[in-house]
C-alpha cells in the first residue's frame, strides 16, 4: 500500500509540476494573478510530494523533528494560496475569508512549531480544520456568486473541486476524531485524500483555465478582425466620423474628416472641442444639455446642420447625426457624430428658394388676372386643391364632415362650399360657433326650450337643430363643446332625436352635421376632454386645410384678391407693392393664416396713398417676430422629430414608434408635430400619420 501511495504521490507531483510550470510562465506573460496563484499551488504540491518521506501519511513518524516538518510548510502554502486562486478565478469580490484563512495558516505554523508532538494528536491539526471549513465556505460563496452573475460555465469546475474539497474536509475530521495513533482512513485503506484531491484539482482547474485561455484567444482574434474591418470602414468612409466625450473633447476623427476640414493629421483635431469648434453658440448649449440628459441608448440626438469654416478658410455646411453611447447606467459616455457635407445641397436649395420667391414676387408684381376661386376660396396650391376636391366629393353625401386646420385657414368657407354643393343647398344652413356661446346657454341655443322651462321662458323657442331641420348645421369650434353636451349631440348625430329644455316630447330632425376645429381632437379624446364615441362619429370624413405657410404659392392670388376687394371698399387705386415689402410678405410665417393676411392688406389699403401698397407699418411690427435662423431650439427640435419619424417610417404609436423612441405620449408628440408644423412628405394634408395611427373610418 505504501508503494502505491508513493507512486500516486509521484504522479500527482508530475501533473502539478507540469501545470505549475505552464501557469507560472503564463502568469509572467499575461500578468494574470489567477495563473500565478495556480502555478504556485502546483509548485507547493510538487515540493510537498517530493519532500521526504515520499508517500508520507499523517501518522508516519518523520525522519526529523515534527515541529520543523518541511512537508507541512509546503502543504500549508498550498492551503493559503487556494482561497486567492478561488477569488481570482471566480471574481468573487469579498476577500475577508481569504485573509481569515491566511491568519489560520499562520496560527497553524506557529502552533505546529511550538506544540507538535508526533505521539499525540497535535492541537494545530484542529485549528487547520477551521481553515478547511473556511476554504469550503469561500468556494461555495464564489460558486453561488458565479451562478448569480451568469458565469455558469466557469462555475461548474469550481463547484466540482469544491465538492471534492468537502470530502477531503470530512475525511480530515474523521481522521482527527479517531482516538489513538492509527486513523480511520488508513484503517479503511482509503487513499490519503490529499493525493486524490490535489490531482483532481490540478487536472480539472488546469483544463478549465486552458480552455478559458483558448476561448479568450479566439475572441481576441475575432475582435481584432472586426476591429480591423471597422477601422478600415471608418477610415475609408466618405463621410465625416467624429467621436467625442460628453464634454465635447474629440477622441477620434476619420481620414475623410481630417481632409475635408483641411487639417494635416488627427492630432490637430484631437486637441479641439467638438462643441466649441463645430457648433453654433445656440446649438452648443442645446447639445451639451442634451448629451448630459440623454439617458436612453435608443435615442439618436438631433441632426444639426452647422456652418463651419475649414482650416483653409472654406465655408462648409455639415449635417451632423449624433449617436450617444451610454454606459450600463444609461449615462452618455461618448457621442459618435457622423457628418455629411451638405454645402452644395444647401447652396442649391437656397438658390431654389430664392428663385421661387423671385417668381412669386414677379407674379405679385405683374399678374392682374382674376383670382382662381371656388365658392370664395382663393388659391391654386396643391394642398388647397386636394382639400377642395375632398370637400366636393363628400358634399353630395349626407356624411358628417370634420374640418380641421389652424385658425383662419378658411374652415368656414369650406363648410359653405360643402353646403352649397350638397343636395340641401336650398335648405337652411345654420351656423353655431361653440366657443362664442356661454356654457349655460348652449343647450338652449342648440335644442331650444319649452314655455315655462325656466323663469324667463315665457314662450317656447326652437333651437338651432330644429331651425336647421332638412338642411345643414355647421358647428364651428366643436372642441369647445362642454362634456355634458356631448352625449346629446351624439344622440342627434345617431338618431336625429332630442328634447327641448323642459320638454317631454322627443323631437326628430333631419340635419346634416358639419363640424370644424383648430384643436387636435384625438389628443383631446386621450386627455378625456372629448368623448371618443362622438369623435369617431364626427371623424367619418375629416378634411385638413393646410396653413398658409405651407402653401405660399397661394400668396400672390390672395394678396391681389384682398387688394382688389379693399380697393373697391375704400376707393383706392393701388397697383403695386414695393419689392422690399414683398420679401417680408413671403418670408413671414402667417400664424393667423389668411385672416391675418386679409387684415394686413385691409389696413395697408386704408393707410396707402398713391399707387403703391404701404406695408411699412406691418414690417415694423412683425420683423422682430420672424425667426432668426435655422438654429433656434424650435428648429433643432423639429429636425430631431423629423429624423426620428423618418427612421420609424412615420409610425407614431406602438412598439418602435416615434413616441416610444422619443419617450413621449403619442398625443403629446402629435400636438408637438402640429405646433412645429411637421407633416409626412408626399402624403395628403389630412393624412399626416401612418395608417396604423388613424382611427378606423367607416365607409360612406
Ligand atoms: N382661400 C381663401 N380665399 C379667400 N379668403 C379666405 C380663404 N381662406 C380664408 N379666407 C378668409 O379668411 C378669413 C378667415 O376664414 P375662416 O373664418 O373660414 O377661417 P377658420 O378656419 O374658420 O378660422 P377659425 O378657426 O378662427 O374660425 C375669412 O374672412 C375668409 O373669408
Q: Are the CB atoms for 130 and 169 separated by under 8 Å?
A: no
Cα separation, 108 vs 122, whole angstroms: 10
Confirm whether 227 is domain-assigned: no
Mean pLDDT of 26-44: 92
53 CB-near residues (< 8 Å, 6+ apart) = 60, 62, 63, 71
Cα separation, 252 vs 270, whole angstroms: 7
CB of 635 closer than 6 A to ligand 1? no
Q: Are the CB atoms for 627 and 634 separated by under 8 Å?
A: yes
pLDDT(618) > 70: yes
Cα separation, 468 vs 132, whole angstroms: 98
Per the model's pLDDT, the better-predicted residue between 114 and 450 turns out to be 450
Tell me which of 409, 516, 593 to substitute to probe ligand 1's pocket, judged by most ligand atoms within 8 Å of the beta carbon: 409
Cell of 690: 401612418
Confirm whether 232 is domain-assigned: no
Q: What is the 3-state secondary structure (H, E, C) of 336-384?
A: EEEEEECHHHHHHHHHHHHHHHHHHHHHHHHCCCCCCEECCEECCCHHH
Confirm whether 698 is domain-assigned: no
Say yes or no: 394 and 517 in one domain. Answer: yes
Please tell me the predicted confidence (pLDDT) of residue 411. Answer: 94
Tell me which of 370, 401, 413 to substitute to probe ligand 1's pocket, judged by most ligand atoms within 8 Å of the beta carbon: 413
Say yes or no: 427 and 528 in one domain. Answer: yes
Which letter does DSSP use for residue 61 in this model?
A: P
pLDDT(696) > 50: no
Q: How confident is the model at residue 699 (pLDDT cuts 50, 70, 90)?
A: very low
ipTM value > 0.95: yes
pLDDT(205) > 60: yes
Mean pLDDT of 22-46: 92
Confirm whether 646 is domain-assigned: yes
- In order, the DSSP letters of 424-488 are TTTS-EEEEETTTS-HHHHHHHHHEE-TTSSTT--S-EE-HHHHTTTSEEEEETGGGS-GGGHHH
- In order, the DSSP letters of 261-327 are TT-S-HHHHHTSBHHHHHS-HHHHHHHHHHHHH---TTPPEEEEEEEEE-TTS-EEEEEEEEEEEE-
Cα separation, 199 vs 16, whole angstroms: 7
Say yes or no: 378 and 363 in one domain. Answer: no
CB of 375 closer than 6 A to ligand 1? no
What distance in angstroms lies between residue 376's CA and the mean position of ligand 1's atoms? 10
Q: pLDDT (tens digit, 9 = 90+) per residue, 379-388?
A: 988 999 999 9
pLDDT(420) > 80: yes
pLDDT(360) > 90: no
Say yes or no: 105 and 213 in one domain. Answer: yes
pLDDT(432) > 80: yes
Say yes or no: 197 and 276 in one domain. Answer: no
- Report the nearest atom of ligand 1 relative to the CA of 518: 25
Per the model's pLDDT, the better-predicted residue between 475 and 644 turns out to be 475
Q: How confident is the model at residue 694 (pLDDT cuts 50, 70, 90)?
A: very low
Respond yes or no on whether the N-terminal peptide bond of residue 9 is cis (omega within 30° of 0).
Answer: no
192 CB-near residues (< 8 Å, 6+ apart) = 5, 57, 58, 185, 186
432 CA to centre of own chain: 44
Give the containing element (helix H, strand E) for 319: strand 315-326
CA-only gyration radius of the chain, Å: 43
Select from 608, 625, 642 the last residue of a domain: 625
Q: pLDDT (tens digit, 9 = 90+) per residue, 488-519?
A: 999 999 999 999 998 889 999 999 999 999 88
Q: pLDDT (tens digit, 9 = 90+) per residue, 627-640?
A: 444 445 566 677 77
Please tell me the predicted confidence (pLDDT) of residue 440. Answer: 82
Cα separation, 287 vs 309, whole angstroms: 19
CB of 405 closer than 6 A to ligand 1? yes
Cell of 536: 369617431
Q: Are the CB atoms for 525 and 532 separated by under 8 Å?
A: yes
50 CB-near residues (< 8 Å, 6+ apart) = 13
Cα separation, 6 vs 84, whole angstroms: 29
Q: pLDDT (tens digit, 9 = 90+) per residue, 561-591?
A: 999 899 999 988 888 887 778 778 888 888 8
Please tell me the predicted confidence (pLDDT) of residue 34. Answer: 92
Please tell me the predicted confidence (pLDDT) of residue 64. Answer: 47
Q: Which residue has the cell 431654389?
A: 352
Q: How confident is the model at residue 168 (pLDDT cuts 50, 70, 90)?
A: confident
CB of 598 closer than 6 A to ligand 1? yes
Say yes or no: 148 and 177 in one domain. Answer: yes
Query: Ligand 1, atom 10: nearest CA belongs to which residue?
Result: 410
CB-count burial class (<10 Å; 0-12, 13-18, 19+) for 164: middle
Q: How confident is the model at residue 188 (pLDDT cuts 50, 70, 90)?
A: very low
Beta strands 576-577 and 612-613, pairing class: parallel
Per the model's pLDDT, the better-predicted residue between 350 and 545 turns out to be 545
Say yes or no: 86 and 144 in one domain. Answer: yes
Select from 583, 602, 625 the last residue of a domain: 625
Confirm whether 34 is domain-assigned: yes
pLDDT(626) > 80: no
Mean pLDDT of 404-431: 93
Please tell me the predicted confidence (pLDDT) of residue 691. Answer: 38
Question: What is the count of structural domains for the chain?
Answer: 5
CB of 388 closer than 6 A to ligand 1? no
Say yes or no: 44 and 191 in one domain. Answer: yes
Please tell me the predicted confidence (pLDDT) of residue 573. Answer: 86
Among the residue ranges 4-8, 245-249, 321-325, the one predicted with the least confidence is 4-8
Phi, psi of 448, rounded to the nearest 5 degrees = 75, 180
Q: How far are the Cα atoms of 588, 589, 614 from residue 604, in angstroms, in the given order?
A: 16, 18, 5
pLDDT(233) > 50: yes
Q: pLDDT (tens digit, 9 = 90+) per residue, 259-295?
A: 888 888 888 888 888 888 877 776 777 777 777 766 6
pLDDT(531) > 70: yes
Among the residue ranges 10-14, 392-396, 679-683, the one predicted with the least confidence is 679-683
Say yes or no: 610 and 474 in one domain. Answer: no
Cα separation, 476 vs 518, whole angstroms: 9
- Report the nearest atom of ligand 1 relative to the CA of 545: 21
475 CB-near residues (< 8 Å, 6+ apart) = 432, 434, 481, 489, 513, 514, 515, 516
Say yes or no: 134 and 199 in one domain. Answer: yes
Confirm whether 158 is domain-assigned: yes
The CATH code of the domain that includes 508 is 3.40.50.300
The CATH code of the domain that includes 366 is 1.10.8.60
| For the chain, percent of residues with pLDDT exceeding 90 | 31
Please tell me the predicted confidence (pLDDT) of residue 83. Answer: 93
* Residues in a beta bridge with 241: 338
The CATH code of the domain that includes 72 is 1.20.1070.10
CB of 471 closer than 6 A to ligand 1? no
Say yes or no: 422 and 331 in one domain. Answer: no
Q: How confident is the model at residue 189 (pLDDT cuts 50, 70, 90)?
A: very low
Say yes or no: 573 and 641 in one domain. Answer: no
Closest CA to 483 of 432, 448, 531: 531
Please tell me the predicted confidence (pLDDT) of residue 23. Answer: 93
Select from 542, 576, 607 the last residue of a domain: 542
| For the chain, percent of residues with pLDDT exceeding 70 | 83
Q: How confident is the model at residue 328 (pLDDT cuts 50, 70, 90)?
A: confident
Per the model's pLDDT, the better-predicted residue between 631 and 391 turns out to be 391
Q: Are the CB atoms for 89 and 158 separated by under 8 Å?
A: yes
Beta strands in 589-684 (DSSP E): 612-613
Please tell me the predicted confidence (pLDDT) of residue 330. Answer: 73
The CATH code of the domain that includes 303 is 3.30.450.20
Q: For all residues of the chain together, what is the average pLDDT?
A: 81
Confirm whether 231 is domain-assigned: no
Please tell me the predicted confidence (pLDDT) of residue 431. Answer: 93
Please tell me the predicted confidence (pLDDT) of residue 631. Answer: 47
Per the model's pLDDT, the better-predicted residue between 384 and 329 turns out to be 384
What distance in angstroms lies between residue 437's CA and the mean position of ligand 1's atoms? 20
Q: How confident is the model at residue 687 (pLDDT cuts 50, 70, 90)?
A: very low
Confirm whether 336 is domain-assigned: yes
Please tell me the predicted confidence (pLDDT) of residue 121. Answer: 54
Q: Which residue has the cell 509572467?
A: 28
Question: Residue 506's domain spans which residues?
Answer: 374-450+462-542
Amino acid at each position: 500500500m505504501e508503494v502505491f501511495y508513493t507512486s500516486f504521490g509521484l504522479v500527482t507531483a508530475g501533473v502539478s509540476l507540469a501545470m505549475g510550470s505552464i501557469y507560472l510562465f503564463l502568469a509572467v506573460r499575461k500578468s494574470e494573478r489567477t495563473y500565478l496563484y495556480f502555478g504556485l499551488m502546483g509548485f507547493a504540491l510538487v515540493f510537498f510530494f517530493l519532500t521526504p518521506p515520499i508517500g508520507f501519511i499523517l501518522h508516519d513518524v518523520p525522519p526529523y523533528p515534527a515541529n520543523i516538518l518541511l512537508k507541512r510548510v509546503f502543504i500549508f502554502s498550498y492551503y493559503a494560496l487556494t482561497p486567492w486562486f478561488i477569488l481570482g478565478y471566480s471574481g468573487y469580490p469579498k476577500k475577508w475569508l481569504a485573509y481569515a484563512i491566511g491568519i489560520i495558516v499562520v496560527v497553524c505554523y506557529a502552533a505546529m512549531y511550538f506544540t507538535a508532538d508526533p505521539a499525540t494528536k497535535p492541537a494545530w491539526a484542529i485549528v487547520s480544520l477551521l481553515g478547511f471549513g473556511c476554504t469550503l465556505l469561500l468556494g461555495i460563496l464564489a460558486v453561488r456568486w458565479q451562478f448569480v452573475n451568469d458565469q455558469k460555465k466557469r462555475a461548474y469546475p469550481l463547484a466540482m473541486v469544491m465538492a471534492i474539497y468537502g470530502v477531503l474536509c470530512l475525511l480530515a475530521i474523521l481522521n482527527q476524531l479517531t482516538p489513538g495513533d492509527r486513523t480511520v482512513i488508513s484503517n479503511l485503506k482509503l487513499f490519503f485524500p490529499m493525493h486524490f484531491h490535489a490531482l483532481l484539482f490540478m487536472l480539472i482547474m488546469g483544463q478549465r483555465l486552458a480552455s478559458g485561455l483558448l476561448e479568450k484567444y479566439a475572441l481576441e482574434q475575432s475582435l481584432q478582425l472586426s476591429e480591423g474591418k471597422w477601422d478600415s470602414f471608418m477610415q475609408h468612409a466618405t463621410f465625416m466620423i467624429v467621436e467625442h466625450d460628453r464634454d465635447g473633447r474629440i477622441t477620434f476623427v476619420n481620414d475623410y474628416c481630417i481632409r475635408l476640414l483641411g487639417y494635416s493629421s488627427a492630432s490637430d483635431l484631437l486637441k479641439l472641442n467638438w462643441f466649441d469648434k463645430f457648433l453654433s453658440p445656440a446649438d452648443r448649449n442645446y447639445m451639451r444639455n442634451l448629451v448630459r440628459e440623454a439617458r436612453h441608448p435608443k435615442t439618436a440626438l438631433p441632426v444639426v446642420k452647422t456652418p463651419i469654416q475649414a482650416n483653409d478658410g472654406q465655408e462648409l455646411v455639415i449635417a451632423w447625426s449624433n449617436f450617444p453611447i451610454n454606459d450600463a447606467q444609461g449615462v452618455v459616455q461618448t457621442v459618435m457624430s457622423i457628418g455629411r457635407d451638405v454645402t452644395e445641397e444647401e447652396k442649391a436649395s437656397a438658390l431654389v428658394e430664392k428663385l421661387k420667391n423671385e417668381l412669386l414676387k414677379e407674379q405679385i408684381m405683374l399678374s392682374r388676372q382674376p383670382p382662381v376661386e371656388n365658392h370664395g376660396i382663393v388659391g391654386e396650391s396643391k394642398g388647397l386643391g386636394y382639400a377642395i376636391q375632398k370637400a366636393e366629393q363628400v358634399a353630395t353625401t349626407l356624411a358628417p364632415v370634420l374640418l380641421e386646420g389652424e385658425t383662419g385657414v378658411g374652415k368656414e368657407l369650406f363648410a359653405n362650399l360643402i353646403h352649397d354643393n350638397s343636395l340641401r343647398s336650398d335648405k337652411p344652413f345654420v351656423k353655431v360657433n361653440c366657443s362664442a356661446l356661454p356654457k349655460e346657454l348652449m343647450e338652449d341655443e342648440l335644442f331650444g326650450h319649452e314655455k315655462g322651462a325656466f323663469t324667463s321662458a315665457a314662450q317656447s323657442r326652437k333651437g338651432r337643430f330644429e331651425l336647421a331641420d332638412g338642411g345643414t348645421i355647421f358647428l364651428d369650434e366643436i372642441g369647445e363643446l362642454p362634456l355634458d353636451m356631448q352625449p346629446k349631440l351624439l344622440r342627434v348625430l345617431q338618431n336625429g332625436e332630442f328634447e327641448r329644455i323642459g320638454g317631454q316630447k322627443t323631437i326628430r330632425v333631419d340635419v346634416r352635421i358639419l363640424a370644424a376645429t383648430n384643436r387636435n381632437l384625438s389628443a383631446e379624446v386621450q386627455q378625456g376632454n372629448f368623448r371618443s364615441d362622438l369623435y369617431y362619429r364626427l371623424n367619418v370624413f375629416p378634411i385638413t386645410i393646410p396653413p398658409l405657410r405651407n402653401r405660399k404659392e397661394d400668396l400672390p392670388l390672395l394678396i391681389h384678391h384682398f387688394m382688389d376687394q379693399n380697393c373697391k371698399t375704400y376707393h383706392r387705386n393701388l397697383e403695386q407693392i414695393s419689392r422690399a415689402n414683398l420679401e417680408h410678405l413671403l418670408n413671414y410665417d402667417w400664424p393667423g393664416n389668411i385672416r391675418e393676411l386679409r387684415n394686413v392688406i385691409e389696413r395697408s389699403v386704408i393707410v396707402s396713398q398713391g399707387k403703391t401698397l404701404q406695408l411699412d407699418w406691418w414690417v415694423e411690427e412683425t420683423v422682430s417676430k420672424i425667426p432668426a435662423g435655422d438654429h433656434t431650439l424650435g428648429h433643432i427640435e423639429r429636425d430631431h422629430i423629423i429624423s426620428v419619424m423618418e427612421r420609424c417610417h412615420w409610425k407614431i404609436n406602438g412598439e418602435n414608434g416615434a413616441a416610444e423612441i422619443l419617450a413621449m405620449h403619442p398625443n403629446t408628440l402629435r400636438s408637438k408635430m402640429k405646433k412645429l408644423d411637421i407633416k409626412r412628405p408626399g402624403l395628403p394634408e389630412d393624412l399626416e400619420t401612418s395608417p396604423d395611427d388613424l382611427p378606423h373610418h367607416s365607409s360612406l
